[in-house]
Structure 1
Amino acid sequence: MKRRTRGRRGAAGRRTRSALVLALGALLSGCGSAPEPTEPPSAREEPFWQAEFDGAAATRPPEGSWTTETGNRDAEGWGNNELQYYTDDAANSALDGAGHLAISARPASAGSELPCYTQEFCSWTSARLTTEGKVALSRGRVEVRAKMPTGTGLLPAIWMLGDNGVDWPGQGELDICEVVGGEPRTVYGTAHGPTYFNENGIGSSATLAADASEAFHTYAVDKQPRRITWSVDGKPYFTLTPSKLPAPRDWVFEQDMHLLLDVAVGGDWPGPPDASTPSPATMSVDYVRFYGEGRA
């Protein structure tokens, strides 16, 4: 079971196990037609909000759009017994001076004594950034062009949470992209809601031609009324509609949803890091763009 602490305080969340996501995706794909290709929004409209991450190296992302969450112990290992302590240090999240946001997991420095949930002190540091309360998508498309770190014990993620004020899982969650440590060429996309969460999250996966850490890819979700489609580099691989939900088909995605970016280390899904785990392990984000309607 892969769980996440969601929202600002104590809302338990989830990252599904790969075998279950694949099985559900295969089953659901067999129940209907494959996702239909859609014209990229960049070809027909301008984003209503975007983050391009231009600026000097070591500059923090703008506080007007981003909040950096911190800690581990009080968040119960972020719901997954994770080993990283999220910080607001530039060493863990800052612009790289080349047009990217770098979110880096790295071993904690000796003597740092960062309180951890699963052990006395966290052995890794990382960063978790959110647009909660600042920027949100109501309907339309979110695109994130990023290079994701891969390696044993890593779980980088690009995802969204609902702003409806309900505790998770009623809050609603859309995992735009997850890359689990031992599967460097697999991209998982998953939805979680009131009656389909934890191991029952509904989603599928796409396979990259090379490891996700070798090149930038555009990870996207097209969020339309009663229809959500996941894609990589403009190629859809899964579409969710209310008909694919378990009874009572409680669709919770007609609401504002904010974005989160993080690199987790260890925990229930990827397992622990080892000597082969890269350090630093960096998610490099080229841009984030929201098309359609929302709040910015």
Structure 2
Amino acid sequence: MKPMTILSIFVCLLSVLSCGSDNEETEVAIIDVSPAQLSATHEGLVTSATINSGLEWTAFSDDACKDWISCKITDNGSQGTVEVTVKANTTYQSREGKVVVKAGAARTSIPVTQAARPEPSADPDITVPEGYRLVWNEEFNKGTQPDLAQWYYETGGNGWGNNELQHYVAGNQGNEQLAAIKDGILSIIAKKIGETVYSIRMNTKESWKYGYFEARLKLPTGKGTWPAFWMMPKNYTAWPDDGEIDIMEEVGYNANYVSSAIHCKAYHHSIGTQKTGETFLPTAQTEFHVYALEWTEDFIRTFVDGKQLFRFDNDKASNRNTWPFNAPFYLKLNLAWGGDWGGAQGVDESALPATYEIDYVRVFQKK
């Protein structure tokens, strides 16, 4: 009987120890945030939130809003703060996002809401396409240079993939203003300063998926000029796979012939499969004309003064090689000098300075 008694006691001890182990609780952080939510005007916000946790923590903006909400941790001990920056909302739509806070296995979030940019009063000079509403516009009637809350510059002189000759700058080169607003018109100027031709390439900070996009433009003159009004994908990784939409292009040696095109993996000029449209517009360089794009999930169409220039249809094959145009794109304005197309017949520097004039840029989306 004695061996059995010892064995029984041993089994009971194992059971007790096992139960004790199962009941041990893993430490889980309790995260307290203040304030519990953030609200920003359309003009943006910089503020701080206090984080209390028994563990070291981190905070970051959610992937869906990381392009307009950013975080800077000033102290991430058991108690600390995170600085939250909400960029200006340049659209006429409110938006929502969140700041995520993590401590160990625990997670919480701070909701962030931002008001829409106030819609302008009805303007009899703005014609809204049927079925659409105005969501963004730049009339160039304020200040002397583009509003950096709505635009940003691309800079550099690396040829831009087309062996272009100009060097792009952020509005000015020294004392020379190359992006200038006067009397409601933006002038983009290509000018030779010293031994270098400088110019402007500017993009909207906002991007859109589908819509009606238009600009009223007067094109520069001279062999070597290459003005464009076009769109590129917000989340660009590779050309031409991610797509490109050219609403208007013209090269100075082929004066007054304006064209539109799309580029994607299946259709682009590098392999001779380009999809383009062209028309002769006798006063393209002497008068303003309206160039527009209507982009839906079914087609891309461009217009000059309301007349269709180009159409490209979605083949509905769910093939990104032929239709990558189902993601947000942003607008671009630039004046190149020379390059594979602009300089195909050489350049004439006597045409400098050359001026590309923009009256307005407008974006409409379906109601």
| Equivalent of 1:190 in 236, 258, 261 | 261
Q: State the partner residue of 1:31.
A: none
AA matched with 2:155: T
CA-CA distance at 1:154 after TM superposition:
0.9
Q: Aligned match of 1:224 in 287, 291, 296? A: 296
Q: 1:126 — aligned with what?
A: 199
Equivalent residue, structure 1, for 2:180: 95
Q: TM-score scaled by structure 2? A: 0.59
What is the letter of the counterpart of residue 88 of structure 1?
A: A
- 1:254 matched residue in structure 2: 326
Secondary structure of the structure 1 residue equivalent to 2:237: coil
Structure 2 distance, partners of 1:259, 1:292, is 14
CA distance in 2, matches of 1:78, 1:248: 24
Aligned residue for 1:107? Answer: 192
2:153 touches 2:171 (CA, 8 Å); kept in 1?
no
CA contact (8 A) 1:263 1:283 kept: yes
Is 1:81 matched with 2:163? yes
Indicate the residue corresponding to 1:27 in structure 2: none
Q: How many correspondences in the alignment?
A: 233
| Paired AA for residue 264 in structure 1 | A
Q: Secondary structure at the match of 1:268?
A: helix
Q: Check the 8 A contact 2:260/2:309 in 1, yes or no.
A: no
Shift in CA distance, 244/231, structure 1 to aligned 2, threshold 3 Å = farther
Q: CA deviation at 1:95?
A: 3.5
Q: Secondary structure at the match of 1:82?
A: coil
One-letter amino acid of the structure 2 residue matched with residue 170 of structure 1: D
How many angstroms does 1:78 deviate by?
Answer: 0.7
The one-letter code sitting in structure 1 at the alignment partner of 2:277 is S
The residue type equivalent to 1:254 in the other structure is: N
Greater strand proportion:
2
Identity of aligned residues (%): 36
Equivalences for residues 50-89 of structure 1 within 5 A: 50-56=137-143, 59-73=144-158, 77-89=159-171
CA offsets 1:242-285 (integer angstroms, 9 cap, x no match)? 3499x986211111110111000011112232244x22211110
Aligned to 2:347: 273
Cα distance between partner residues in 2 of 1:98 and 1:163: 31
Q: Conserved in 2, the CA contact under 8 Å of 1:92 and 1:125?
A: no
Whole-angstrom distance in 2 between the partners of 1:44 and 1:281: 38
- Counterpart-to-counterpart distance in 2, 1:248 and 1:71: 31
Report the Cα offset of residue 157 of structure 1: 0.6
- 1:130 partner amino acid: N
User: Residues 189 and 230 of structure 1 are in contact (CA less than 8 Å); yes or no, is this contact kept in structure 2?
Assistant: yes
**What is the rounded CA distance, in whole Å, between the counterparts of 1:244 and 1:216 in structure 2?**
36
- How far 1:209 sits from its partner (Å)? 2.8
Equivalent-residue separation in structure 1 for 2:288 and 2:130 (angstroms) = 20
Residue identity in the other structure for 1:155: W
How many Å apart are 1:171 and its aligned residue?
A: 1.5
Instruction: State how far apart, in whole Å, the 1-side matches of 2:128 and 2:363 are.
Output: 9
Deviation at 1:48, TM superposition (A): 0.3
CA separation of 1:275 and 1:128: change in aligned 2, threshold 3 A: closer
Q: Does 1:235 align with 2:311?
A: no
User: Which stretches in structure 2 are left out of the alignment for 5+ residues?
Assistant: 1-126
**CA–CA separation in structure 2 for the residues paired with 1:252 and 1:66:** 24
1:155 to 1:45, Cα distance in 2 relative to 1, 3 A: same
Q: Which residue of 1 aligns with 2:217?
A: 146
Q: CA deviation at 1:128?
A: 0.3
TM-score (norm 1): 0.73
| Corresponding residue number in structure 2 for 1:21 | none
226-235 or 196-205, larger mean C-alpha shift: 196-205
Provide Cα deviations, 1:40-91, integer angstroms capped at 9, x if missing partner.
Answer: 74455441000000124xx221111111111113xxx111111111011344
Structure 1 gap ranges (5+): 1-39, 111-122
Post-superposition CA distance 1:88-134 (Å, at most 9, x none):
13445433321011111011236xxxxxxxxxxxx201010012xx2
Q: Is the 8 A contact 2:222 2:348 kept in 1?
A: no
Contact 1:48/1:293 (<8 A) preserved: no
- Mapped partners of 1:188, 1:275: distance in 2: 24
Residue identity matched to 2:329? M
User: Given that residues 92 and 103 in structure 1 are in contact (C-alpha distance below 8 angstroms), is that contact kept between their aligned partners in structure 2?
Assistant: no
Letter in 1 for 2:166: Q
C-alpha distance in 2 between matches for 1:249 and 1:78:
23
Partner AA of 1:108 in structure 2: I
